[in-house]
Amino acid sequence: MLHGSPDSIKAEFPIEMNDKIEKLFLKENGGAVMESLSFSFKEAVCRDCKEIVAVPMLFSLREGDKRRVVGPCPSCGKEKVKLISDLSNLPCPDCGKKELERSFEGLWD
């Protein structure tokens, strides 16, 4: 796990999700971050407000381990988000016709 301390990971999620994160990922390891976790922001579509957003996601890297926590929509706060794996089948949320394209903006040092 390269993201840092449990507190820095939990800070990326609403405080209401802290218990779920603790229960799923931290309790079994005495409160320390398990080495087999990954944290990142994932592209998603909110099923409520229909916005395309980036949501925090914490998941296990262990083979066969399906545990994960996905944060809510940052636009409306609802937890009904669908992670996007393929943009080619996703219509534009504004016009509903054009396919979406991915572009990268900015650099991270």
d(CA 102, CA 90): 11
Q: Which two tokens stand for residue 36?
A: 């087999």
- Predicted confidence band of residue 2 (pLDDT cuts 50, 70, 90): very low
In Å, what is the CA distance from 23 to each residue of 31, 32, 49, 53? Answer: 10, 12, 29, 26
Q: What's the pLDDT score for residue 61? A: 85
**SS3 (DSSP) at 96:** coil
- What are 50-91's pLDDT values in tens digits? 888 999 999 888 888 888 899 999 999 999 999 988 777 777
Lowest mean pLDDT among 37-41, 58-62, 83-87, 100-104: 100-104
